[in-house]
Amino acid sequence: MSKYRVHKSQVRSIAAICEAIADHVARINRLPIEEARALVDKAVEIHDEPVNLLGYLGDTRPEKANVVCRRDFVNTYMGGGMSNDAGWILADDGTIEGSVSEYDDKWWVDAEPRFWQVAMAHEAIQAAEANGYILHKSEENGNIKLVAEMVASGGSGW
């Protein structure tokens, strides 16, 4: 039975976590992002109250999460092997923490920096749009680049 490790972040949006999961699934499986999002929408569980994660044998683990990728999904689309559930929980300070088992570190270690970067970019896009901006997203050398553009307001035009 492998131990879970907690991975802290500054991310606060469950939608951003789902976008990062979809990005990971798309990249690993060479799928269009729309197809990966559909898989995530169908399979990833989102709970108001955290639920227990399950080990690779289906045993209930003490770790809990609000966003859960069950082990079958992890095995098929995220890492392969005999994976445990992966989960993300809302921490007391409002940020989201990831719980990934030591066994699953083989895929998480390489995926983690980009995972959090994608989630934070998604949050930035949501915030910009809510404040009247359009963010254009591109990638350079594997890094996400965001450029903001103010939406025309029809005001004084200065």
- Report DSSP letters for 80-99, one per residue: -SSPPPEEEEE-TTS-EEEE
What is the structure's pLDDT at 152? 64
* Secondary structure E strands in the chain: 4-7, 45-54, 60-69, 86-90, 96-101, 133-140, 143-150
CA atoms within 13 A on the CB side of 40: 23
Mean pLDDT by 10 residues, the chain (158 residues): 87 96 95 97 97 95 96 90 92 95 86 91 90 85 84 52
Residue 67 domain flag = yes
Structure tokens at 41: 């929408």
At 81, give phi and psi (nearest 5°): 90, -145
Model pTM?
0.88
Q: Please tell me the total count of domains within the chain.
A: 1
Residue 104 domain flag = yes
Contact yes or no for 25/77 (Cβ under 8 A) = yes
Count Cβ atoms within 10 A of the Cβ of residue 83 and give its class: 0-12 exposed, 13-18 middle, 19 or more buried: buried
What is the structure's pLDDT at 1? 64
What is the structure's pLDDT at 16? 96
Residue 83 domain flag = yes
Give the domain range for residue 21.
4-115
Residue 76 domain flag = yes
What is the structure's pLDDT at 155? 46
What is the structure's pLDDT at 158? 39
